[in-house]
Structure 1
């Protein structure tokens, strides 16, 4: 039998964490009693710098039952880094790991199906939403656009998959060899190349609390996904530059012909429009280049992805 560790990143989740941990414990214990999992299987919660009572809840569960483990990061390092912290710790002793968010909008009842695929040789099993009925129109539309853009620039994602997945020990060890700081886990996992499978489930609304991904964070996350995997935005700058130069050559000959025909009309409208458009393109181009330079600077510094303040083993 294999040891499973369920990794749960949590940031200010005091409103739902009690119910989440009770439900995950019940599911894991049922699998243990069915002799599907080893009795040492556990649940690891990563407190990503919460400022509410999340850590106190984790300590309470750990004190009552050693099945619960906890990691407290020294500050908020972000969801992706909290996941990496959990995976790095869990892979030491676990044979496989399931990652799931603390709000339990992803259905933990399909973990059993994931284990079936794992038993049949899959190293990675993706949890995939079968619908987006619970999302707003804007969120559904923006998600479709996001996946299409990433697909166009060559990033192969699993549509409607977030961070609910099962990974084997060797898949995790391979993933942890990717050392970049500007990391986009959803894009890296398919690159590992191991045998994979999908399980489908219906995503439910949050039981309590607020989403940790408001619009601002969602847009930042999408931008990180694009710039972490592709230089297409920089190539787009080159394309716009060539287009502007071609337009300039065209306007040069157009002006000569108009002068020759005596059709020149003196005015400033076309001049001002050209200045504003070209100036805007230059500023956008500098911003995109600056984004890549900034990311390169962060990678070169090689700062730690996270700092562990306390570890409940």
Structure 2
């Protein structure tokens, strides 16, 4: 069986359309399936639409969070509640083309355990958003040492890959990178990002920046390395300046350098505070991990609840 996981936040107008579109394609291909909507604390009627859709279609299951925990938590909740032998994760707004699911499924039948959805084009975006997204992917690719320039959350994973992902104890999980990091026999399919039919993207430039910082810190120690490199460069600069100052002093050419001193203090002080900020952010993430709070809290479920444990 194939499980399709769809995180949803304020997507009341897309629930029935997504279920009908995906279900129609999979039924036409005679693929046994279930659809799992994960309501990430929506403030509109998303959950009511999930309940209504489940009454009309027994292939649909729903999970509702007690509040908004974020897309990463919603995807992990979908994986934990999926009962399929393979699982596809995709966006509820259908910007990930549902027709590609069939291609992924056929590759899985050929023995591939992870099928990555790779963006051929990103669709229509304003210039500022495209530039910020490009910078985000460049930074995160260098930090996690995985090419994320065309990566997406749209992918199929075999049951063994899903279990490996769920076995990781970390609370701040970066799904897009971790699903590549676990390995297994992997291939990819290209797709064109579709235009949203209803509503607007939930990803603003501010949320992209916050998302980038959080995921880089949770997956990589690159910022800590950057602090060390900055400290070394600052030390070398101080040594050179110190030698120059001593040479001028002993040669009798020393001049008042009040402005230079102030600038050096300001620059070094800023670097120190930035470094402390990075270290403090890592400490905050460690603090969140050691508290061992759950990734999310489920308030309600609807549907058959055919989880993998029950099937076994």
TM-score, normalising length: structure 1: 0.92
Superposition deviation, residue 252 in structure 1: 1.7
**Cα distance per residue 1:241-291 (max 9 Å; x no partner):** 222222222222211211233322224211111111011001100100001
> Is it true that 1:66 corresponds to 2:53 in the alignment?
no
Match for residue 209 of structure 1? Answer: 199
**Separation of aligned partners in 2, 1:151 and 1:215:** 18
Superposition deviation, residue 233 in structure 1: 1.4
> Is it true that 1:27 corresponds to 2:19 in the alignment?
no
Unpaired segments ≥5 residues, structure 2: 304-312
| Residue 88 of structure 1, aligned match among 80, 91, 97 | 80
| Residue 117 of structure 1, aligned match among 91, 107, 116 | 107
Match for residue 245 of structure 1? Answer: 235
**Cα distance per residue 1:197-236 (max 9 Å; x no partner):** 1111111221111212111111111112211222121122
Aligned 8 A contact 1:128 1:159 in 2: no
CA RMSD in angstroms, aligned pairs only: 1.6
> Is it true that 1:305 corresponds to 2:295 in the alignment?
yes
Match for residue 247 of structure 2? Answer: 257
SS in 2 for 1:178: coil
**Separation of aligned partners in 2, 1:277 and 1:23:** 57
Match for residue 130 of structure 2? Answer: 140
> Is it true that 1:76 corresponds to 2:68 in the alignment?
yes
> Is it true that 1:182 corresponds to 2:172 in the alignment?
yes
SS in 2 for 1:162: coil
After superposition, the Cα gap between the structure-2 partners of 1:154 and 1:69, relative to the gap in structure 1 and judged at 3 Å, is closer
Superposition deviation, residue 168 in structure 1: 1.1
Match for residue 140 of structure 2? Answer: 150
Aligned 8 A contact 2:95 2:194 in 1: yes
Aligned 8 A contact 1:157 1:186 in 2: no
Equivalenced residues, count: 303
Aligned 8 A contact 1:100 1:164 in 2: yes
Match for residue 12 of structure 2? Answer: 14
> Is it true that 1:168 corresponds to 2:158 in the alignment?
yes
Superposition deviation, residue 158 in structure 1: 4.5
Aligned 8 A contact 2:94 2:196 in 1: yes
| Residue 40 of structure 2, aligned match among 30, 48, 53 | 48
**Separation of aligned partners in 1, 2:16 and 2:125:** 25
**Separation of aligned partners in 1, 2:141 and 2:199:** 33
Superposition deviation, residue 133 in structure 1: 4.4
SS in 1 for 2:273: helix
**Separation of aligned partners in 2, 1:307 and 1:195:** 33
Aligned 8 A contact 1:155 1:229 in 2: no
**Separation of aligned partners in 1, 2:214 and 2:251:** 53
**Separation of aligned partners in 1, 2:213 and 2:136:** 9
Aligned 8 A contact 2:3 2:34 in 1: yes
**Cα distance per residue 1:27-67 (max 9 Å; x no partner):** 122122xxxx23xx211111111110000100111112211
Match for residue 307 of structure 2? Answer: none
**Separation of aligned partners in 2, 1:73 and 1:223:** 24
SS in 2 for 1:204: coil
Aligned 8 A contact 1:81 1:306 in 2: yes
